[in-house]
Structure 1
């Protein structure tokens, strides 16, 4: 399965009404310039875990990806993301995994 590729939606002076999508079970990806924020809305009856994939190694060793919980019926904003989160393929892409996507929607917002 491929990750859901998100397009950043830019904040505007006159307001932003973001569009949300249901992510693929493989997670989401988006291009980062250091100004992107991921909004995760959990409409399910259970908590989910969001894993922010680290794209760098330290002295050849993988770094443990940070995780956060989004409670049942809650939402959280993640980011902005520095270059440590960009995957090593040179595309400035950030990967985020979600433990469940049932009743979950996401949007990538850009400052």
Structure 2
């Protein structure tokens, strides 16, 4: 399965009413420019683990991707993402979610 490709939604001085989507089980991806944030809303009855994929290596060694938990019924913002999170293509960030049932996400841009 392909990741859900998110389109960044830009903040404006008049406000932003973001659109949220249910992510694919493979996770999400979005353009990388250092100004994107990911908002994860978990309406399920269990916590969801969010894994922020690191696309860089250090001296040829893979770096362990950081994880965070979004509690049941809670939401959390992630980012902005440095270029350490750029994938091999140098233009996207990838995020995995341990579950997607009753989870929605939006990519927000500063």
Band of TM-score, shorter chain:
over 0.9
Output one character per residue of 1:9-34: Cα deviation in whole Å (capped at 9) or x when no partner.
00000000000000000000000110
Size of the aligned set, in residue pairs, is 110
Runs (4+) off by over 4 Å:
none
Which residue of structure 2 aligns with residue 94 of structure 1?
93
Which residue of structure 2 aligns with residue 50 of structure 1?
50
Which residue of structure 2 aligns with residue 31 of structure 1?
31
Which residue of structure 2 aligns with residue 75 of structure 1?
75
Output one character per residue of 1:17-73: Cα deviation in whole Å (capped at 9) or x when no partner.
000000000000000110000000000000010000000000000000000000000
Which residue of structure 2 aligns with residue 108 of structure 1?
107
> RMSD of the TM alignment (CA)?
0.4
Tell me how far 1:8 sits from its aligned partner.
Answer: 0.1
SS in 2 for 1:106: strand
Unaligned runs of 5+ in 2: none
